[in-house]
Structure 1
């Protein structure tokens, strides 16, 4: 088989595995069996292990894609006064659709996440600074505060689920928005959470 074709196969399998991991983790959580991910990607477990040493490596690959997406969105919003608001709500939606992300990033033994955290902070910081200068972000709010609000949202959402209360992501979103931003959250079209779609 020509080298070009082999490289294409390797890249295709890598993409399929990351996509399958995203889908399987969303259904079964970050401890999902690797066999399930290989099956969803339509590859053998041997092929999976050629690309990823373990489940954490797969989760990191998904997180790397998420961070690249955040960086691209932040760059597109660079000239927008309310770019920090837009990006916050986008990241809130991502977390809501994939609650497993909070569990993975909260693990204290994940030393490989430091660079991804730095990249995320670097992407968001200019948007927060611009919004603060325009009076859209409360003066005391930092980029770290914006990022801290996301696991807080997921903790509140998880507590609702454990207590068998109706899911209240819209209310959680509004409370966090008011704590971070000076704008009225009712001025925004709040997307319906996945459970309500």
Structure 2
């Protein structure tokens, strides 16, 4: 839009338009977590309590919606990474990173499928670089301190935290296992002569494990 003298100025979105945008992102996260990346867009609109036309006014295609979800998640990652590194030791920073990343994934079980689709939409995107770049110095310092195995890389740390966080796709019943599995992994990352810690929770029972295996993430 132009002013009286022809200068251009930005017209802010109406409040309801901003609210609809945010409701659609929140609904898309929930529906994708439940039904997968190809979940019906009509269901996302219904969950957001808007019409399908409103969805398409905000996101011209499914891929555009997925990209918006991905960018929002990367903003959250940047906040997470900015809060890592101030601990007393590099090992404590590493533990804090794995804990925070895993909990973030538990809270957003749609994220793994979103990242997979981004790899198809834009093969040149390398989101893991955000994590590995931040963790390299921490890993090297923890190894220099004698607190971390010498053969572990920053990619290992990111991969392990991602694997553990993915348990959230199977429902709340398994989220309680996060701390126990993290403790086991952390012990494995320690040098051979390091002290072992008590595990945070009891093991999952066989019946619960079988239920998890029988259900897909969408069913959970």
Q: What TM-score comes out, normalization by structure 2 length?
A: 0.64
Whether the 8 Å contact between 1:78 and 1:126 is mirrored in structure 2 is no
Whether the 8 Å contact between 2:31 and 2:44 is mirrored in structure 1 is yes
**Runs of 5+ unmatched residues, structure 2:** 1-9, 209-220
Instruction: Give the total of aligned pairs.
Output: 183
Structure 1 or 2: more helix by fraction: 1
1:75 deviates by: 1.4
Q: Secondary structure at the match of 2:32?
A: helix
**Runs of 5+ unmatched residues, structure 1:** none
Q: Secondary structure at the match of 2:127?
A: helix
1:34 deviates by: 0.8
The residue aligned with 2:99 is: 89
Larger radius of gyration: 2
Relative to 1, partners in 2 of residues 1:76 and 1:151: Cα closer, same or farther, differing over 3 Å?
Answer: closer
Can you list the C-alpha shifts for 1:75-131, whole angstroms capped at 9, x where unaligned?
122211312211212222233344432233235524267253333333444443444
Relative to 1, partners in 2 of residues 1:151 and 1:130: Cα closer, same or farther, differing over 3 Å?
Answer: same
Question: Are 2:154 and 1:140 equivalent residues in the alignment?
Answer: no
1:46 deviates by: 1.6
Question: 1:112-191, aligned counterparts within 5 Å?
Answer: 114-153=125-164, 157=167, 167=174, 169-181=178-190, 186=197
Task: Supply the distance in 1 between the matched residues of 2:77 and 2:21 (Cα, whole angstroms).
Answer: 21
Task: Supply the distance in 1 between the matched residues of 2:153 and 2:112 (Cα, whole angstroms).
Answer: 20
Q: What TM-score comes out, normalization by structure 1 length?
A: 0.70
Task: Supply the distance in 1 between the matched residues of 2:147 and 2:74 (Cα, whole angstroms).
Answer: 24
Q: Secondary structure at the match of 1:109?
A: helix
CA RMSD in angstroms, aligned pairs only: 3.5
Whether the 8 Å contact between 2:41 and 2:62 is mirrored in structure 1 is yes
